[in-house]
Structure 1
Amino acid sequence: MNPRDLLPQADDDRVFSEPWQAQAFAMTLALHQKGVFSWSEWAESLSKELENSGAEDGSDYYTCWLAALEKLLAAKSITALSDVDALAAAWQRAAHATPHGTPILLENDPQHVDRHNTF
């Protein structure tokens, strides 16, 4: 299957409306290519998320994509969902603590603990 077949079509020819969407897409392809999961496992995981989606217009496609990836990695014991949630919360705190116009760094999280690349 061609990865381009997975991309939703947009009227303005932009496939990704946010950088994180492109990153989630690229991460998924890289993990599949490394053999972390089969394409059928990925398709099943994404299908489940899309079936449970609340948006009829597909506006939450990449939110579903990311949730499917997180759950598949947890099912494969690559990471725990609680670790993903903790890291997301740390990035959120870092974003709130970062002055406007400067890069958001995880170290800006007021609760930051140096884990030496644990995440």
Structure 2
Amino acid sequence: MEAAVRATAEVPSIPRDEGGPVFRAPWEAHAFAMALTLHQRGVFTWPEWAAALAEEIKRAQVAGDPDTGDTYYRHWLATLEKLVAQKGVTSMDMLHRYRDAWDHAADRTPHGKPIELRPEDFG
């Protein structure tokens, strides 16, 4: 919890209420947690993160994002992907490979069942 409090202090754009960060869907909380973990492991500083996120949001606005707040964590996730690739944690190709595998696994998984990656999902 302390890390989340520090993050909201360092990145003022994080949607929050008096209790801390707020999320519209579970994946948003997961993306937030991944950024916290990577920051704690020294992959990036909060000022570096805030600058990269601001740049991503500006790019999206130029491309037509209405900036109503409901796409904030999409920008967060795009920033996360770009930073881990820039820092050499992984590559954009590997990120796309896993995204495509998850899409394939999700397509074959019945609603309500856990999604499991299989080797054939990477085909």
TM-score (norm 1): 0.80
Match of 2:81 among 54, 70, 75: 70
For the residue of structure 2 that corresponds to 1:43, the secondary structure is helix
Q: Which has the higher contact order (CA 8 A, sep 6+)?
A: 2
Q: Deviations over 1:80-115 (max 9, x none)?
A: 1111111011101101101222111112x74347xx
Of 37, 49, 57 in structure 2, the residue corresponding to residue 50 of structure 1 is 57
Shift of the 38–14 alpha-carbon distance from structure 1 to 2, 3 Å rule, reads closer
Cα deviation 1:22-74 (Å, max 9, x = unaligned): 01101101111111111221111101111122132121100000000110111
Partners of 2:122 and 2:94 in 1: how far apart?
14
How far residue 3 of structure 1 moved from its aligned partner, in angstroms, is: 2.2
Q: Where does structure 1 differ by over 3 angstroms across 4 or more consecutive aligned residues?
A: 109-113
Report the counterpart of residue 88 of structure 1 in structure 2.
99
Number of residues paired by the alignment? 110
Amino acid in the other structure paired with 1:50? I
How far does residue 2 in structure 1 lie from its aligned partner after superposition?
2.6
Q: Give the Cα separation in 2 of the matches to 1:68 and 1:112.
A: 24
TM-score by length of 2: 0.78
SS at match of 1:102: coil
The runs of 5 or more residues in structure 1 that have no matched partner are 114-119
Alpha-carbon RMSD? 2.3
Identity, % of aligned positions: 43
Question: Which of 4, 7, 13 pairs up with 1:3?
Answer: 7
Query: Higher helix share goes to which structure?
Result: 2
2:6 maps to a residue whose letter is N
